[in-house]
Amino acid sequence: MTFTASQLLALLPLLLTSTTLVVLMLAIAWRRHHELAFAVTVVGLNLALISIPFLLESLPQAVTPLLHVDRYAMFYSALVLVGALATCTFARSWLKTLPDNHEEFYLLLLIATAGGLVLACSRHLASLFIGIEMLTLPMFGLVGYARAERHSLEAGIKYMVLSAASTGFLLFGMALLYAQAGSLGFADIGKTLATSPAHQPLLLGGIGLMLVGFGFKLSLAPFHLWTPDVYEGAPAPVATFLATVSKVAVFCVLLRFYLAVPATAEPAVHWLLAAMAVVSIVLGNLLALLQGNIKRMLGYSSISHFGYLLTVVVASRLGQIPEEAAGVYLLMYLLTSLGSFGVVSMMSSPYQGKDADSLHHYRGLFWKRPYLTAVLTVMLLSLAGIPLTLGFIGKFYLIGVSVEAQLWWLAGAIVLGSALGLFYYLRVMITLFLREPGMVRRDAEPGWHLSSGGVVVWLSALAVVLFGIMPQPVITLVRSMLSLQF
């Protein structure tokens, strides 16, 4: 197997991330130093991110049958790298006083990021599986990184066991698809199945089992049961990574697979996805109403948000083009999740045992940290889809796609879910301004706004507001980047 210079250049973000991983391993072997490990990780991820604009003119590039690097892959690679960089900066403050080794955190983070980059470029079931495992396996260690905390260790074990089960479903589904199509490439599977009866049991069984695996990774109902417990038990920076990078990378490859394989247009598959979308929207929002823990609430909220996103996939089989709507919404979800989980990370840093995740920890926060309160308020308003935030633009896209596809009940589910979401987001916002003397509360570290994590939180809030008022730059960027090629 030979690689041309243009193929290696197309893989530059992945190669730079992998090189950073190796350099960090050597640095740890030479000398343990938290700031050095942080610096190496940040420099490597920044180089990978900066390289992306310089590669766009030479794309698309097929790099072996496993990977296809196009603008679509580069867009989602950029989202993965931004999420990884934000997680890294939040972790720096959180790790300061952790009574354990710090450097391995960045090592596991880089491995998971490399897995996300593989998924963004994947067009083959083998690379899909490799990418998902590279993304998932390091998360077992990251979720349980605060191993002295019972909640963190319990979350790590739960995530490991349930993830292993979902991987079994995914592999079995791939085996059935291979038995029917005789190939593992997305395009080859699509061509083979386009000429064969789509109602064959092997085909529908394979797609159904793969949807179970994808449903677990994306926290879609009814495969969502791990989400609130793992979000609550995981350290706040790790919960940030789980909510953003992990899900963005998996949704990226799901959309590519769904559009490449025409058999997914079967009515049975179509209605299964539609049912998963509606149940995720309704169930996620209803369960979020009952939560007194902000991390669990955001976990249930993420279930509903990926239910919203699934409506784009459902509508795509009725003549709609989903890439633009999905890209805008995922960009919004990334920025708002980084901001909201970033506030939780700032409140929980440095490590003080259990994270500041109960709502009473945030009671009256406005009177102590008004700027941090402003950031969290903006993020919650965006997640609720309030005008003048990027969240409104994202939900407007989703409703527009559903209406154009004449899926009125699906559009109604989005509106109903948004109304339910507004209720519990407002409850958190009201809590921030309530004042009760003598109540024990957590507080952010002095000078949080000058820390690296504080800068990320500020930039996320600024982007959410700015692009909510003037969304055209985001829309133009997404339109120019998201053109799927198989």
> How high is the pLDDT of residue 273?
86
Residue 251 has pLDDT above 90, yes or no: yes
Q: Enter the tokens of residue 2.
A: 């030979």
CA 246 vs CA 87, 134, 137, 180, 214: distances in Å: 12, 11, 12, 30, 11
| Reported confidence tier of residue 486, pLDDT bands at 50, 70, 90 | very low
> What pLDDT does residue 119 have?
94
Q: d(Cα 171, Cα 209) in Å, to the nearest integer?
A: 8
Residues 413-424 pLDDT 10s:
899 999 999 999
Number of domains making up the chain: 1
> How much is the pLDDT for 204?
80
Q: Higher model confidence: residue 483 or residue 472?
A: 472
> What angle, rounded to 10 degrees, do the helices at 472-481 and 71-95 form?
120
Q: Beta-carbon neighbour count of residue 423 at 10 Å?
A: 12
Collapsed DSSP state (helix, strand, coil) of residue 253: helix
At 256, is the pLDDT very low, low, confident or very high (cuts 50, 70, 90)? confident
In the chain, % of residues over pLDDT 70: 93
SS (H, E, C) 56-95: HHHCCEEECCCEEECHHHHHHHHHHHHHHHHHHHHHHHHH
Does any domain span residue 402? yes
Q: Compute how many other C-beta atoms are within 10 angstroms of the C-beta atom of residue 30.
A: 9
For the chain, how long is the longest CA-to-CA vector?
Answer: 72
Containing structural domain, residue 284: 5-481
Kindly report, residue by residue over 148-172, the tens digit of the pLDDT: 888 888 999 999 999 999 999 999 9
Is 60 exceeded by the pLDDT of residue 485? no
Which of 74-78, 270-274, 434-438 ranks highest by mean pLDDT?
74-78
Query: What are the CA-CA distances from residue 464 to residues 27, 106, 153, 339, 343 (Å)?
Result: 37, 27, 34, 9, 15
Least confident of 134-148, 206-220, 229-243, 357-371: 357-371
Residue 146 has pLDDT above 60, yes or no: yes
- State mean pLDDT over 249-268: 80
Residue 320 confidence (pLDDT) above 80: no
Q: What is the distance between the terminal CA atoms of the chain, rounded to a whole angstrom?
A: 21
**253-38-36-45 Cα dihedral, nearest 10 degrees:** 40
Confidence of residue 318 (pLDDT cuts 50, 70, 90): low
> pLDDT band at residue 334, thresholds of 50, 70 and 90?
very high
pLDDT at position 87 is: 93
Residue 24 has a pLDDT of 94
DSSP H or E stretch at residue 391: helix 390-404
Q: Is the pLDDT of residue 136 over 60?
A: yes
Radius of gyration for the alpha carbons in the chain, expressed in angstroms and rounded: 21
The three state secondary structure string of 41-59 is HHHHHHHHHHHHHHHHHHC
**What was the pLDDT predicted at 265?**
63
DSSP code for 242: I
Record the pTM.
0.93
DSSP 124: B
- Answer yes or no: are the C-beta atoms of 55 and 9 closer than 8 Å: yes
Per the domain annotation, does 53 fall within a domain?
Answer: yes
Top-confidence residue, 435 or 97:
97
Domain-embedded: residue 486: no
Please state the rounded mean pLDDT for residues 284-299. Answer: 90
* Confidence at residue 437, expressed as pLDDT on a 0 to 100 scale: 62
Kindly report the average pLDDT of the chain as a whole number. 87
CA 366 to chain centre: 29
